[in-house]
Structure 1
Amino acid sequence: MRRLLTSAIALAVPLAAPLAIPFAVLAGAAHAEGSLNLYNWGNYTSPELLEKFEKETGIKVVVTDYDSNDTALAKIEAGGHGFDLVVPSANYVPIWTEKGLLTELDTAKLPHYANIAAEWKDVPWDPGRKFTVPWQWGTTGVGVNTGVYSGDPNTSAIFMDPPEELVGKVNVVPEMNDVMALAIMYEGGAPCTQDLTVLKKVRDDLMAAKPKWISMDYGATEKLGNNDWAASVNWNGSTMRARLANDKVVYGYPKEGYPLWMDSVGLLKDAQNVENAYKFLDFIMVPENAAMISAFARYANGIAGSEAFMPEDMKTAPEVVVPEEFKAAGKFLPTCPAEATKLYTAIWTELQK
């Protein structure tokens, strides 16, 4: 998740303000004094945060964007990338650590490490928080324009079996892990299932639903906000942004089950600007700074004490504060075994044809 979610090209984890900094690869700057190269989901990094960090430390952060966990992983594995920090989602962190791509953190260099909230300090994807520190977390559900559809938005039927009012007006973001998880839970399965009966139903229903969609694309923040789309599989922060632009937009928590995600920052094994990276990691664990990340992206963070600095409109936002009745339906996605991923990829490839 994650998921997240993007940039002007791909809004995998959409955010709350216009892009205000250039996103370009400057690998040649990796050895430069006072620099840091952050590889992050597009349009997911607060410009104000970077300005504050540079002012306080003299370190210039160059941000390069990616549109999916798989894109980021492939880029780093290929080598020669020049990046220092990366921001994978929870279900991908074990892949990064097993491949030896991240450095175990020296917490002695992180005076604010203790600010990680208790519930995020010992997590299944990074036991003991040895390799990563929190960035942001949220949910994947559906955004719906109630001016077009007044029925229940809290169901994956919005895209799996679109009601008549939404036929030809539903978008599905091209994020395999999130969409497959939603579809599997809608069909009564569990994330990472290899039950072929469940997966056949997932495949058949997705293929039957696709002609009723308008697109498989990113950009829900803008396109829900300006009425180009009436519904979309989407992330909670992005949907909050859309609602601020269009008060008819609501965020649905699929009662059949929906993904929870957390994106975390890891230090790459081949990072060149290691000490600068530690300064940045410590900086984002200061409560006021963590709140700046959230204020831009409209997602919660994992830093205790940041609540006092959060924007007022996030403190009670229905997209951020999960309603009690839907809490049990949210599931963190596990890291699926290769066999399950192969099955999902086959369905996904067919769906995208």
Structure 2
Amino acid sequence: MTRHNRVGRHTAKLLMASAMTLAAWSGVARAEGELHLYNWSNYFAPELLERFEQETGTKVTVDNYASEDDLLAKLQAGGGGYDVIFPGATTLGVMVEKGLLAKIEVSQMENFKNLLPAFTTIAGDENREYSAPYMWGTTGFTYDPAMVPGGKLEESWKELFEPRDELKGKIAMLNEVSDVWNAAAYYTGIDKCTEDPAEAQQILDLLMAQKPDVRLYSNDGTIDRMVAGEVAAHMQWNGAAHRVKEKKPDAVYVYPKEGTSFWTDVIAVPKDAPNLEAAKTFVNWMMSPEIAAIASNYTGYSNAVSGSGEFLREDLKADPAVNTPEDYNDRLRAFKACSPASKDLREKVWTKLKS
């Protein structure tokens, strides 16, 4: 998941407020030492690294992973010395089940009161014992009108799964099993939590038929790839689509009519985090309105913190890729916790596709 953006024009306003932050937030404790974050690339504002260090005395460093499979493997191998991680809802549930996370009682933290009601619980961590919300958004696709026949594509996954001849070899997919599987399930009308091998085979058949037409599967470089015109259409997260439009204003983000995944990334702490107390301070800090706004302004995604709106960039509020039009609400499909049997089918399909 490539997350690249610049902090918006409200940055100066936020920085001027920095001097007052310590007095205003009693929840930010002094926590000297080092804090090691493990996150997607370009998915955390550098400004926040400096600000947390200034306000707490804790030095923050960030390492990046390329997929949630990499993140899960790292934790299963011992955690790699990381204090804070940023998994998606699917991986969060797996981590809770496997006992890989510290129970940090997020619902008891001071700034938990700032969360929007819809984000006070999440599948797999219903009581918010292990995680706080980070960014949320959707998974659709973006296209460049100048590179497609007639300048317009249908609002359907068909444009990627059964591309017209002019687009073959000029489309790209994400390299994330859940996103690709879910989109294929929506398009075929199959329950994304199916346990039926025959239905899984239908999804595999669709993906294998599409594979020769896909230029590449990648989570990294999706923005640069679209801006450079390397592909005409790209499966993307909506924040990446917003950043494409900053460089290519005519680019169109599509909410496919068959279904568009609605996802939430979270902030969590590995069970063997070297600096547990600093990690808990950090999680609470990230639920503050001004801090959440800085994160959104950088990533281009929405956050779950009430009161952050006054600090958001106007272009984020105006972009339908970020601020989903009401007419598309019925296309949004929330995360579902699938059974082990369903997950096993999904992994088998993905392995065959990528082999």
Give the conservation status (yes or no) of the 8 Å contact 1:140–1:233: yes
Equivalent in the alignment of 1:176: 177
SS at match of 2:123: coil
TM-score (norm 2): 0.88
Deviations along 1:61-111, whole A, 9 cap, x unmatched? 111111222211111111161111111111222211121111222459732
User: Retained in 2: the 8 A contact 1:226–1:245?
Assistant: no
- Distance across 1 between alignment mates of 2:124 and 2:74: 21
Distance in 1, matches of 2:257 and 2:5, equals: 26
SS in 2 for 1:127: coil
CA distance in 2, matches of 1:93, 1:312: 32
SS at match of 2:229: coil
**Residue type of the partner of 1:249?**
A
1:286 aligned onto 2:268: no
User: Which has the higher mean CA deviation after the structures are superposed, 243-252 or 136-145?
Assistant: 243-252
2:22 corresponding residue in structure 1: none
Amino acid at match of 2:339: P
RMSD: 1.8
Q: Does residue 115 of the first structure (1) align with residue 96 of the second (2)?
A: no
- 1:147 corresponds in structure 2 to 146
Task: Structure 2: state its 5+ residue gaps.
Answer: 8-30
- What is the CA deviation profile of residues 1-25 of structure 1, one whole-angstrom value per residue up to 9, with x for unaligned ones? xxxx3xxxxx3xx23249xxxxxxx
Amino acid at match of 2:139: T
Q: Secondary structure at the match of 2:179?
A: helix
How far apart are 1:44 and its partner, in Å? Answer: 0.8
Assess if the C-alpha contact under 8 Å between 2:119 and 2:304 holds in 1: yes
Structure 1 counterpart of 2:249, from 241, 247, 250: 247
TM-superposed CA distance for 1:199, in Å, is 2.4
Q: Matched residue of 1:255: which SS?
A: coil
- The answer to whether the 8 Å contact 1:225/1:249 transfers is no
Instruction: Specify the alignment match of 1:15 in structure 2.
Output: 4
- How far apart, in 2, do the equivalents of 1:80 and 1:263 lie? 19
SS at match of 1:232: strand
Q: State the match for 2:261 in structure 1.
A: 259
Is the CA contact (8 Å cut-off) linking 1:45 and 1:293 kept in structure 2? yes
Task: Indicate how the Cα distance of structure 1 residues 129 and 172 shifts in structure 2: closer, same or farther if over 3 A, else same.
Answer: same
Three-state SS of the structure 2 residue aligned to 1:288 is: helix
Q: 2:110 is paired with a residue of what secondary structure?
A: coil
The alignment partner of 2:303 has SS state of coil
Distance 2:158 2:249 in 1: 22
Percent identity (aligned):
35
Quick one: distance in 2 between partners of 1:71 and 1:80? 11
Aligned residue runs from structure 1 range 19-38, under 5 A: 33-38=32-37
Q: Tell me: CA distance 1:171–1:257, structure 2 relative to 1, closer, same or farther (3 Å).
A: same
In structure 1, the partner of 2:97 is 98
* 2:218 paired residue number: 217
TM-score (norm 1): 0.88
CA displacement 1:153-209 (0-9 Å, x = unmatched):
421112100123312200111111100100011000121112334322222221111
Which of these residues, 318, 321, 324, is aligned with residue 319 of structure 1?
321
Distance 1:123 1:92, change over 3 A: same
Question: Offset at 1:114?
Answer: 0.9
Over residues 257-313 of structure 1, what are the superposed CA-to-partner deviations in whole Å (9 max), with x where a residue is unaligned? 121111111122111211211221121111010011111110001111111111110
- Is contact 2:226–2:244 with CA below 8 Å preserved after alignment? yes
The one-letter code matched in structure 1 to 2:63 is T
Alignment of 1:120-139 (within 5 A): 120-139=119-138
2:238 aligned residue:
236
